[in-house]
Amino acid sequence: MRIDLEHLGLESGGDLLLRRAMRKLASGERLEVAGQHEELDLHLRAWCRTSGHRFDPASDPTRTLRGVITPATHFGKLPTERAGSASLAGVADRPLRHWGLAGRSAEVELGGPAFDFGLIDKMGLWTDDAGRLYARAAAAQWDPNEAIDWSVPIEHDEETEDAIVQVMTYLIENETAALLVPARFLGRIHPHFREVMQLLAIQSADEARHIEVFTRRALLKRAALGLSTVGGQASLKTLLDEPDFALASFLLSVMGEGSFLILLNFLHRYGPDPVTRSVARLAAQDEARHVAFGLAHLREHAASDSSLLARLAVAMQRRHSELAETAGLNERVFEALTVIGAGGFSPQEIGIGFNRVMQLQADMDSARRASLIRLGFSEADAQALSQLHTRNFM
Amino acid sequence: MSQPFILGAVAYDPKVVTIWEGFKEYFAQRGFAFDYVLYSNYEQQVLSHFDGQFHVAWNSPLAWIEAERLADKRGRKASAIAMRDSDRDLTGVIVTRRDGGIATLTDLKGKRVAIGAKDSPQATLIPLELIAMSGLAPGKDFEVISFNIGEGKHGDHIGGEREAAKALMANGADACCILDANRMLFAKEGTLPTAATQIVATTEPFDHCNFTVLDGAPQDRVDRFVQLLLAMSYTDPAVRPLLDMEGLKQWLPGRVSGYAALNRAVDRFRFLDRFLAA
């Protein structure tokens, strides 16, 4: 085969044409190279030497034919393998570490570094639903500046505003935990599980936005946040300290965010101002997706691993023991929720507010029990385990 | 544990440790005990080789000539046992600006010629020898501007050549001396555009590094070392990263036919007189 590079040199793309031509050579065939570039001889000599090809310069007095390339034996024969296939059916049970950052179905050159991903088993991470949940999350992203009218005046009394600031303070630290827990696992998941990786990334982005809007709401009329308690932080620290993805996901997404969702609905319903109601409503939409993912992959995991439910139960019992000596939900948050639920400070209104907070906790318990039953626990077990959930809600 | 076969190499870059650690593992997997010692410059490496500090040297072309001549002087014998495919038939080029009015080597009279490290075969010794063959004496008939980066490492560091090329483009020199592959690289990256520069002369082909042994080296282990090197395949995923780092596709048997130009340069400039007298 012969190729004419005309005036193109190898410093300007001629090597692309050479490789293209060489890929078309039959076995044993050589490539004659013609061209007019004044330094083409040097280019061919240097390029072939560094690429491992043999180059025989031509003795063509017209300098049209510049030489002949014999491709290196390795040319076009470097071993590769496919990183699974593009379809969901091609998600590997245990993707290889040297597939590294390659997308599913990519042709991966062998000999690359083995990545130190800690989470490489499909079981425990994966759900076929992850792609759909990610797409839903991507489509449901909202801009805090656009989605919330921050200019609406806050007209309620100062004590009610104090209650809102206290609840926002509590929400912020809970959402910070909800950002950090998936983010920590995100860096350890094999990227082969692309949809799960994307979902955890967008989940972290959701939480980043929640932290922003809760902070903005808290500081609308105040210069600083409210009280952060020992009991609250102790409860959240147990989430951050949980090294097992399935257990952390269960405690955070299913039990914690499941309860949180009910709380956000409470704030959406009883919040005294439109901004509070808006931030609660928007955050609740996102949290519902987080709960859905947690439930989906844990259900698949439980279906293929009969020991999972027992481990989840032990995790709840262990966390309950760790937190048994703490004060649980801090009094100020409880009071703030009561004030918000009351809508006023008359004994009758406070009585109503108190009952609404009682109902809130009962609703959280029902939601947790329903989730536990969906995971496969019996009604009796679900009831017992739900009672062990942290009094901090998350 | 059997005594390891020991290599001497110059640490021209931190990656040198990674490279020889990789080779050590490759050899170990094949039951060949291997280790290495690193030097900061080739002169000390050559002297240590003669002192019996190690068995085989990974020598630059100038270090090969140092070893060969020192062996002659001491009544010993140096042999080149293997080299990279990329070590064969290199050329150096002398590049000028197209608007510089220099079209031939003799036009360099009274001009400034930028070179790389003083001990670089490809960017200093061999091209200066080429110019000298045209009748111009360096430092006398033309000014030599040296970018002496990494002296003692015999031009293994590309920095000197790059600085020489930049000096040409900045009008700090009228010509620069670089390796053929770097001519193409610098053109590609824009340091030395082809449209603005031209090659006025090309050296004869020359060879680069080789593995050198001295007489008295344990022959069975030398043979096994060469055998294992030649068996390394670029298509082997475990081996390819090592070859990529060391810049080759295939090991070849050593040859000494490609050092004539450098030998002439060493003679003309009496470059090794002090080293050999020491």
A50: nearest CB among B181, B199, B236 = B181
Residue A121 lies in a domain: no
In a domain, A115, yes or no: no
Q: Is B2 on the interface with A (CB under 8 A)?
A: no
Same domain, A210 and A88: no
pLDDT reading at A63 higher than 80: no
- Is A317 a domain residue? yes
CATH code of residue A188 = 1.10.620.20
Is position A339 within any domain?
yes
**pLDDT value at position A124?**
84
Shared-domain flag, residues A185 and A164: yes
CA-based nearest residue in chain A for residue B90: A46
Among A41-50, A338-347, B150-159, the minimum mean pLDDT is found in: B150-159
Helices B159-169 and B180-189: crossing angle in degrees, nearest 10, is 60
Order of all β-strands in the sheet with B56-59: B34-39, B5-10, B56-59, B210-214, B78-84, B251-253
Give the contacts of B27 (CB within 8 A, at least 6 positions apart). Answer: B5, B33, B34, B225, B228
Mean pLDDT over residues B91-101, rounded? 96
What residues contact residue A176 under an 8 Å CB cut-off, 6+ apart?
A: A207, A211, A236
Pair (A312, A342) in one structural domain: yes
Do A105 and A140 lie in one domain? The reply is no
- In sequence order, which residues have a C-beta less than 8 Å from that of residue B172 and are 6 or more positions away? B112, B114, B145, B166
Residue A129 pLDDT > 80 = yes
Do A88 and A192 lie in a common domain? no
Closest chain A residue by Cα to residue B249: A52
Domain total of chain A: 3
Q: Does A153 touch chain B (CB under 8 A)?
A: no
Same domain, A340 and A277: yes
**A190, A336: one domain:** yes
**CATH no. for residue A22?**
3.30.110.40
Chain B partners within 8 Å of A52 (Cβ): 85-86, 234, 248-250
- Is A117 within the bounds of a domain? no
C-beta atoms of A42 and B91 within 8 A: yes
Beta strands in B2-161 (DSSP E): 5-10, 34-39, 56-59, 78-84, 92-97, 112-115, 143-146
Nearest chain B alpha carbon to A46: B181
Domain boundary among A20, A44, A70: A70
Residues A261, A156 share a domain: yes
Residue B1, pLDDT > 60, answer no
Using the predicted structure, report yes or no on whether residue A392 has a pLDDT greater than 90: no
Radius of gyration of chain A from Cα atoms? 31
Same domain, A13 and A156: no
The count of CB pairs under 8 A between chains A and B is: 71
- The answer to whether residue A120 is domain-embedded is no
Which residues, in sequence order, are CB contacts of A210 under 8 Å at separation 6+?
A171, A175, A178, A279, A283, A286
Q: Is the pLDDT of residue A292 over 70?
A: yes
Reported as a single tens digit per residue, the pLDDT across A65-99 is: 999 999 999 999 899 999 999 988 889 999 999 99
pLDDT at A327 over 80: no
Residue A344 structural domain: 130-388
B275 has a pLDDT exceeding 60: yes
In a domain, A161, yes or no: yes
Q: How far is A182 from chain B (nearest CA, A)?
A: 35
- What ipTM score was computed for the predicted complex, to two decimals? 0.89
Q: Specify whether A43 is located in the same domain as A96.
A: no
Q: Inter-chain contact B184–A46, Cβ cutoff 8 Å?
A: yes
Residue-wise pLDDT for A210-249, tens only, equals 999 999 999 999 999 999 988 888 889 989 999 999 999 9
Same domain (yes/no): A153, A246: yes
Chain A closest-CA separation from residue B196 CA (Å): 13
Give the count of beta carbons closer than 10 Å to the beta carbon of residue A90: 13
Nearest residue in chain B measured CA to CA from A14: B188
Q: Across the beta sheet with B112-115, what order do the strands follow?
A: B143-146, B112-115, B175-179, B92-97, B197-202
Q: Are residues A162 and A292 in the same domain?
A: yes
Position A114 in a domain: no
Closest by Cα among A162, A145, A142, A129 to A292: A129
Contact assignment for A10 to B249 by CB distance below 8 Å: no
Residue A328's pLDDT is: 64
Select from A5, A10, A49 the residue whose CB has the most chain B CBs within 10 Å, as the one to mutate to test that interface: A49
Does the pLDDT of residue A19 top 80, yes or no? yes
Reply yes or no on whether the pLDDT at B251 is more than 60.
yes
Amino acid making up residue A15: D
- Best residue of A11, A36, A43 to probe chain B, by most B CBs closer than 10 Å: A11
In order of their start, the domains of chain B are 5-87+207-277 (3.40.190.10), 92-202 (3.40.190.10)
Question: pLDDT for B203-250, tens place per residue?
Answer: 999 999 999 999 999 999 999 999 999 999 999 999 999 999 999 999
pLDDT tier, A62 (very low <50, low <70, confident <90, very high otherwise): confident
